[in-house]
Chains A and B, each alone.
Chain A
Amino acid sequence: MTGKQPFEAIVAAHGGTVLRVCRAVLGPDADDAWSETFLSAMKAYPDLPADANVEAWLVTIAHRKAIDVTRAAARRAVPVADPPERVTEDETDGTGDIAEALAGLPTKQKLAVAYHYLAGLPYAEVAMILGGSTDAARRAAADGIASLRKNARQGTHQ
């Protein structure tokens, strides 16, 4: 009898996508969210139904972890004299105009774009994660993409 794949295969298959999503949603705080996501996923993995959509499941966990990280960052956001060094600052592979523009979108649009365009989830799955209808998820992604296009056009004209 063959059961589900060893967890290592799950990390190998989906680690890159989850990291891209964490970067799109969080920027430089992405590493912690990635680690938390896979640690939680590993804990729950033996109970995951064999026919589950693993990528949607992982993005759902990453979504919750990203919310946690954002909240924790907001709590920590007090000015400090000597801010801790950020090792990843220089290699934020997500920088560049489009990443910045994405970061500037309203949250719902940003998440809809990240989960549909970067993670490749269908809008029905995106809607499950964000709450609301499939149409609302599609609209949020479309609005987000329209803003990114506008932004890119302005960028090239400057």
Chain B
Amino acid sequence: MNIDADLAQAFPDTPEHLAVLRERLAAAADSSGLLDVAYRTVDSPVGPLLLAATEQGLVRIAFAGEGHDAVLQALSDKISSRVLHAPARLDAAARELAEYFAGQRRGFDLPLDWRLAAGFRRTVLSHLPEIGYGHTASYAAVARLAGNPRAIRAAASACATNPLPVVVPCHRVVLSDGRIGNYRGGPEAKRTLLTLEEAA
């Protein structure tokens, strides 16, 4: 007889039970202050979104095209390797996003952790909510809002590297000739968001 096989059989994999233990671990890590980065994914009209939050607030929203595994690795490198799938911390964000995508919410009321945007980029991003729901502004207008009218390219690069797309509405920034311009989630996603806001 094969003792290895018998041992393996006596202690089988128990994926469902393990899932329960992992859920408990996430809760215990959170309450002991060890959960530096919590994440979950949500479905949306612009594809699955990865949501990540520190104890300070929402820190990253990522489109599928960015590669969710690569984004998690980057969060681990830049913030902390104490990263767990822990949906509870992102309940409010998931709810507000669902309301937004259903056309029932025009602004977000979530604590944000801005640590992935620094300097002028952060200044630019912090002014984006001033562009109202359903409106658009040019990159030049955004540079003006941020207090540096000549920094149009810098304003564009701030939008292109927005760590919190959708919630921080860089999709409302378009080219001055009316073309839609680039977007972290691809131009199609940008068009979807603008169409949604026009319709609601």
Contact = CB atoms under 8 A, between A and B. Distances in A.
Given A8-B85, A16-B13, A34 B21 contact: yes
B145 interface: no
Interface in A24-56: 24, 31, 34-35, 38-39, 42-43, 45-46
Contacts of B73: 2, 5-6
A106 to B, nearest CB: 17
Contacts of A38: 25
Given A6-B72, A46-B82, A24 B18 contact: no
B115 interface: no
A66 to B, nearest CB: 14
A156 B167 CA distance: 65
Interface string B52-76: 0000000000000000000011011
Contacts of A98: 6-7, 9-10
A101 to B, nearest CB: 9
A152 B81 contact: no
- Chain A contact residues, majority secondary structure: helix
B81 A35 contact: no
B34 interface: yes
B24 A35 contact: yes
Given A98-B7, A117-B7, A7 B77 contact: no
Interface string B1-13: 1011011111111
Contacts of B37: 6
A127 interface: no
A19 interface: yes
Interface residues on B, range: 35 or more
Given A2-B77, A39-B29, A99-B11, A7 B84 contact: yes
A15 B15 CA distance: 10
Nearest to A39: B28
Interface stretch (A73-81, A88-96, A132-140): A88-96
Given A7-B83, A97-B10, 10 more contacts: A3-B76, A5-B81, A6-B76, A6-B81, A7-B82, A8-B72, A16-B13, A31-B21, A45-B82, A102-B7
27 contacts: A1-B77, A2-B73, A3-B76, A5-B73, A6-B73, A6-B83, A8-B39, A8-B84, A15-B22, A16-B15, A23-B11, A31-B21, A35-B25, A39-B28, A39-B29, A39-B34, A43-B34, A46-B82, A93-B11, A97-B10, A98-B10, A113-B7, A117-B3, A145-B3, A148-B3, A149-B3, A152-B3
